[in-house]
């Protein structure tokens, strides 16, 4: 399929329009509710990123609208998120706001490329412990990022969140601001306690409004506000783009694109699980997020992803189509144009309280407990991913989590491999002849995978075979074989050959034959160029070989197969 055809397949479809027409009133109400929940989050994440509240609003409006139209989920709500903020803070510190906008643009292009390459399906290969550890680490980082605003101090210098938090605590100890602490604590407490008793009430916006009113009426100078906001979106511009800096920003853009893909597809999967009959298209979702991240920087917005919390609110309030997510973006745009002066008076500490409560909600204690109790490997992967997220960054955390999960999975698979000495089949031989053959021929059966993680250990046992003339390797139960396994098997055969022991194989499958032949092991395993489908055939060939070598006397007569002998397949 051509690139053009793939792009056409990623565009909105008639089915999307049909879905929108089914329940417009419910979608409009859901979109309004999500907008109320999203407003303080967009402002807070914009402030946390270092680009300001206006950047968070621009992302929620522009990226939210485009992702709603072009994304692959009917229920996904996109915008600035805490996970993305975690990645952006060090980029702002090193490259400034223009660097973040450039990184967002580059990441958007990468997401579109991933969509065209149909990379969305690979999300399913991320293990659950990695996702849980990733979410736990992000929640901790988001909470720590709010410490300066929650304490009412200027954000200290530093890239690592632990260092910044420690310095903020030191500054607070010297110049305490209890007003900010009270606002942050009260807003967080109202959200956490209120949402448990009345989950459908938007306590985040109510708590922020209450904090703003108190700060204005009491004229609390210690409650620092957001500051001036533009009364509308800026005109789209590429003035931030510095072509010479693209090379140095490439790694950061890869990190942002990887995170946007991971979080968006995870959020869409969560939305599918909360409904009946909804199923997202992962490649279309990447395409929609790519377009959203290409457009958002043009309006001064930070990179966006699918937002799990806002998507969950969207589903719970009755959304049925992408009209709800689009409505959420439109409502936020109206707020930007009409209520900017009022929004600018919101205390920063109140927004810090919103994000602190959000971080606490992200920690699913039940899921974490279940994952840790599942197996020690799952617990180890979860903890390592969470610690790496907190101490390093998100991309390193995911890479470390996947690497450890892969290594442990290979270890578990390798343990399934087994080498057993098996008795020779009685079917084609008398008792006397069978006893005579057993003195000179031994058979081993390989069970399970024969690959790089499993080959060396148990094949060493084969190299130490007893003092016989022929070793038959039964391979019909080998589930997989790679070049390393074939090379180790070849090495074992050569060692036995040097001891004067002939090695033959039975039950070699077609897929195994190609791998064995590529490393030169097939000829060593097939005496006189013949392959043996079953073990009895290999035994007969070994019998003829030993007769020619003068080890065994000639067979006087063919003994017929006894009644009740197992089928041929069982003898392999």
pLDDT < 70 regions, the chain: 1, 124, 158-159, 276, 393-395, 414, 416-417, 424-438, 452-461, 463-466, 527-530, 555-572
Q: Return left, alpha or beta for 539; rule: phi > 0 is left, psi -120 to 50 is alpha, else beta.
A: alpha
- pLDDT at residue number 561: 44
Answer for the pair 85, 259: CB distance below 8 angstroms, yes or no.
Answer: no
Between helix 178-197 and helix 203-217 the angle, nearest 10°, is 150
- pLDDT at residue number 311: 86
Residue among 43, 365, 358 nearest 188 (CA): 358
With a CB cutoff of 8 Å and minimum separation 6, the contacts of 406 are none
3-class secondary-structure state, position 560: coil
CB atoms within 10 A of CB 505: 27
CB atoms within 10 A of CB 77: 35
- pLDDT at residue number 567: 44
Task: Write down the pTM of the prediction.
Answer: 0.68
Residue among 179, 186, 216 nearest 203 (CA): 186
- pLDDT at residue number 520: 81
Span 312-327, pLDDT tens digits: 878 877 888 999 999 9
- pLDDT at residue number 361: 80
Span 410-460, pLDDT tens digits: 777 767 667 777 776 655 555 555 666 667 888 888 888 877 666 666 666
3-class secondary-structure state, position 305: strand
- pLDDT at residue number 5: 76
Answer for the pair 64, 327: CB distance below 8 angstroms, yes or no.
Answer: no
Report the distance separating Cα 30 and Cα 198, nearest Å. Answer: 17
- pLDDT at residue number 559: 46
Per the document, the length of the chain is 572
Residue among 140, 84, 162, 136 nearest 383 (CA): 136
Report the distance separating Cα 52 and Cα 379, nearest Å. Answer: 38
Report the distance separating Cα 476 and Cα 538, nearest Å. Answer: 13
| Token pair in block for residue 154 | 């200027």
- Residue 503 has φ and ψ, to the nearest 5°, of -115, 135
Residue among 423, 485, 484, 483 nearest 448 (CA): 485
Please give the full DSSP string across 46-70, using - where no structure is assigned: HHHHTS-HHHHHHIIIIIHHHHHHH
Alpha helices in 274-375 (DSSP H): 282-295, 308-316, 323-338, 340-343, 348-362, 365-374
Report the distance separating Cα 397 and Cα 129, nearest Å. Answer: 12
- pLDDT at residue number 429: 53
- pLDDT at residue number 560: 46
Report the distance separating Cα 34 and Cα 77, nearest Å. Answer: 8
- pLDDT at residue number 571: 47
Torsion sign across C-alpha atoms 343, 345, 351, 353:
negative
Q: Return left, alpha or beta for 76; rule: phi > 0 is left, psi -120 to 50 is alpha, else beta.
A: beta
Query: How far, in Å, are 459, 462, 470, 569, 570 from residue 419 at the CA level?
Result: 7, 8, 17, 19, 17
Direct distance between the N- and C-terminal alpha carbons of the chain, in angstroms, rounded to an integer: 44
Report the distance separating Cα 150 and Cα 168, nearest Å. Answer: 10
């Amino acid at each position: 399929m051509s690139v053009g055809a793939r792009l056409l397949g990623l565009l909105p479809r008639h089915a999307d329009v049909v879905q929108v027409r089914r329940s417009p009133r419910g979608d409009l109400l859901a979109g309004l509710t999500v907008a109320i929940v999203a407003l303080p989050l967009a402002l807070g994440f914009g402030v946390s990123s270092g680009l300001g509240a206006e950047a968070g609003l621009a992302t929620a409006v522009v990226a939210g609208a485009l992702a709603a139209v072009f994304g692959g989920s009917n229920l996904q709500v996109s915008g600035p998120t805490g996970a993305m903020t975690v990645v952006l803070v060090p980029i702002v510190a090193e490259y400034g706001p223009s660097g973040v906008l450039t990184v967002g643009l580059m990441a958007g292009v990468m997401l579109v490329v991933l969509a065209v390459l149909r990379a969305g399906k690979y999300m399913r290969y991320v293990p659950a412990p990695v996702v849980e550890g990733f979410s736990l680490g992000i929640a901790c980082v988001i909470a720590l990022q709010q410490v300066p605003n929650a304490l009412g101090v200027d954000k200290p210098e530093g890239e690592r969140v632990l260092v910044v938090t420690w310095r903020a605590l030191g500054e607070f100890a010297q110049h305490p601001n209890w007003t900010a602490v009270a606002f942050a604590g009260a807003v967080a407490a109202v959200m956490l306690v209120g949402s448990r008793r009345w989950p459908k009430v938007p306590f985040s916006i109510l708590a922020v409004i209450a904090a703003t009113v108190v700060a204005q009426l009491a004229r609390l100078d210690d409650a620092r506000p957001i500051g001036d906001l533009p009364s509308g979106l800026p005109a789209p511009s590429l003035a931030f783009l510095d072509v010479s800096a693209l090379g140095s920003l490439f790694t950061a853009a890869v990190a942002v694109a990887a995170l946007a893909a991971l979080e968006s597809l995870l959020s869409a999967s969560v939305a599918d699980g909360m409904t009946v009959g909804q199923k997202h298209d992962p490649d279309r979702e990447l395409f929609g997020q790519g377009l959203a991240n290409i457009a958002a920087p043009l309006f001064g917005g930070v990179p966006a992803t699918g937002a799990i919390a806002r998507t969950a609110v969207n589903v719970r309030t009755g959304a049925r189509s992408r009209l709800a997510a689009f409505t959420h973006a439109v409502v936020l745009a109206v707020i930007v144009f009409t209520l900017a002066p009022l929004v600018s008076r919101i205390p920063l500490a109140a927004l810090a309280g919103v994000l602190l409560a959000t971080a606490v909600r992200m920690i699913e204690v039940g899921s974490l407990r279940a994952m840790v109790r599942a197996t020690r490997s799952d617990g180890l992967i979860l903890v390592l991913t969470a610690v790496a997220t907190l101490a390093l960054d998100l991309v390193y955390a995911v890479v470390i989590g996947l690497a450890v999960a892969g290594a442990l999975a290979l270890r578990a698979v390798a343990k399934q491999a087994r080498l057993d000495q098996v008795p020779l089949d009685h079917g084609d031989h008398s008792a006397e002849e069978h006893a005579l053959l057993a003195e000179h021929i031994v058979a081993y059966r390989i069970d399970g995978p024969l690959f790089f993680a499993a080959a060396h250990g148990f094949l060493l046992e084969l190299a130490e075979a007893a003092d016989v003339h022929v070793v038959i390797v039964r391979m019909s139960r080998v589930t997989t074989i790679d070049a390393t396994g074939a090379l180790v098997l070849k090495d074992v055969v050569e060692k036995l050959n040097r001891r004067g022991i002939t090695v033959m194989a039975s039950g070699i499958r077609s897929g195994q034959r190609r791998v064995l032949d590529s490393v030169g092991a097939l000829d060593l395993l097939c005496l006189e160029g013949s392959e043996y489908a079953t073990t009895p055939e290999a035994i007969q060939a070994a019998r003829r070989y030993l007769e020619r070598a003068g080890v065994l006397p000639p067979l006087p007569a063919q003994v017929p197969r006894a009644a009740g002998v197992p089928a041929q397949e069982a003898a392999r």
